[in-house]
Amino acid sequence: MNYALVTGASRGIGRAIALRLAADGMPVLLNYRSNTAAAEATLHDIEAAGGKAELMPFDVSDPKAIEQAIEAWKGQHPDDYVSVLVNNAGIRQDNLMIFMTDEQWQQVLDTTLTGFFHLTRRLLKEMLTHRNGRIVNITSLSGLKGLPGQANYSAAKAALIGATKALAQEVAARKVTVNAVAPGFIATDMTAELPEEELKKMIPAGRFGKPEEVADLVAFLASPQAAYITGQTISINGGLYT
Ligand code: NAP
């Protein structure tokens, strides 16, 4: 059987993506870092809706933890593989660059960019041998436009777009697609402390987006219908000019 793996599926956009892929009939592996209660709530909601999911905690910025988690899962699922990978886990550590610490730079790069590299490389081989794969990378408006206070986050998200384009060309002939989704402002824990009333005025749609709206786009890119779309970065931002 083939599975979807969603990183950062305990909360926010990742949770909505996991719920949506499960509703579409895929068994989903729910990755998260530390918030077990939130991950269990996602699992519960998927099962209550008739879907199938399993928890798979690991820190995407830790290559050894990735290897251990995937190896353990393969041990229990020798005939199964991951055909849909959504690299969604991400953090913000905002600071003006002149004040940015080494840790703030490194943690954001390690989570978004290096996490994408290690996990995707680990899962790619089976997608290629089965000639069936969908990789969706959650980037950001910040990676397209650059946002002040986010030199680390903008760099990591822009690099993820570059990697998406390169990998898409490497694997297209084997029926594996690689795309990026670039949300604007979406209402989640990550944006909970932002001045929403002020920011809304800049957004032509006049509101923040919902995690479910991002999930609908990701589900389409993960579907068989999206077989001829690859190497793209699709914005979902209520018309915010980028
Ligand atoms: P969120 O509500 O803060 O949730 C972050 C999720 O990522 C949580 O499930 C968290 O797990 C997980 N996570 C963080 N670091 C991790 C790590 N090292 N290993 C494994 N999981 C980790 O964030 P969100 O708003 O849903 O954002 C999801 C993605 O969309 C991110 O890549 C973000 O950059 C991107 N994005 C968000 C917005 C927005 O406006 N919200 C806009 C553009 C792009 P725990 O629960 O265990 O902490």
111 CB within 6 A, ligand 1: yes
158 CB within 6 A, ligand 1: no
At residue 241, the pLDDT reads 77
186 CB within 6 A, ligand 1: yes
Atom of ligand 1 minimally distant from the CA of 60: 19
11 CB within 6 A, ligand 1: yes
Please give the average pLDDT of every successive group of 10 residues along the chain, which has 242 residues.
Answer: 97 98 98 98 98 98 98 97 98 98 98 98 98 98 97 98 98 98 97 94 97 98 98 98 72
C-alpha 78 – ligand 1 centre gap (Å): 30
**Interhelix angle 115-130/63-76, nearest 10 degrees:** 30
At residue 57, the pLDDT reads 98
Beta-carbon contacts of residue 66 (< 8 Å; ≥ 6 apart): 58, 60, 115, 118, 119, 122
Give me the active site residues, please.
153
110 CB within 6 A, ligand 1: no
Taking alpha carbons only, the member of 189, 190, 108 closest to residue 155 is 108
CA distance 164 to 170: 10
Atom of ligand 1 minimally distant from the CA of 62: 18
Beta-carbon contacts of residue 213 (< 8 Å; ≥ 6 apart): 186, 236
At residue 187, the pLDDT reads 97
- From 10, 13, 68, give the residue whose CB has the most ligand 1 atoms within 8 Å, as the site to mutate: 13
C-alpha 181 – ligand 1 centre gap (Å): 14
Q: Scanning the structure block, which residue is given the tokens 């660059």?
A: 97
Answer yes or no: are the C-beta atoms of 135 and 221 closer than 8 Å. Answer: no
